[in-house]
Amino acid sequence: MIGWACRQLAIWGGLCLLLYAAVSHRDLLLPQDDGKAVAATATAPSAEASRATPFNALTYHADKRGHVVLEAVVNGAPVRFLVDTGASFVALTLADAAAAGIGQGSLSFTARMNTANGQAYAAPVRLREVRIGQLVVEDVQGVVQDKLWMSLLGMSFLKRVESWEMRDGVLTLNWQ
């Protein structure tokens, strides 16, 4: 009986010593403050506010070539887009622009664009709305290019959502 009591005393005493050591030396166990804590504290309210508000999200998987192609609606007309994070603007083909109510007669191809295929001319336009699923972005800068084989969903749209991420072949769009 005395042996059992001594063993229990040693176990519980050892646990208490470990707990005391962990609490008294917690500064060694936690990351050191190198000035980043001030910045984290300053941004904490907005980070907490964004966590409190639930995000809406859409996800799209890349095809075998690594391209993300999605269906959207521009000014009420369906448009098939290739997501292009290297494109500065939403770029529409002539056919997609016509379907979206942008007549070729109203276009002025005055903007010189540097594309993956060299220089091209484009007509700047304002898109009333671009809708992807439940996500709606209004008044989006865009261009119409005559030698485009497929419309491109570029940064003038992507920068208007709360956040977007391309990871492991999956594009995720988040908005509030």
Does 13 share its domain with 27?
Answer: yes
Does 47 share its domain with 64?
Answer: no
Does 42 share its domain with 69?
Answer: no
How confident is residue 69, by pLDDT bands cut at 50, 70 and 90? very high
N- to C-terminal Cα separation, the chain? 65
* Residue 78's CATH number: 2.40.70.10
Its pTM stands at 0.68
Does 40 share its domain with 73?
Answer: no
How do residues 162-173 score in pLDDT, each as one tens digit? 999 999 999 999
Does 45 share its domain with 73?
Answer: no
For the chain, the domain total comes to 2
Domain coverage including residue 129: 56-175
Which residues lie closer than 8 Å to 32 by C-beta, 6 or more apart?
none
Of 13, 28, 52, which marks where a domain is finished? Answer: 52
Instruction: Provide the pLDDT for residue 95.
Output: 95
How do residues 3-42 score in pLDDT, each as one tens digit? 888 888 888 887 777 767 666 655 555 544 444 443 333 3
Pairing of strands 163-167, 151-153: unpaired
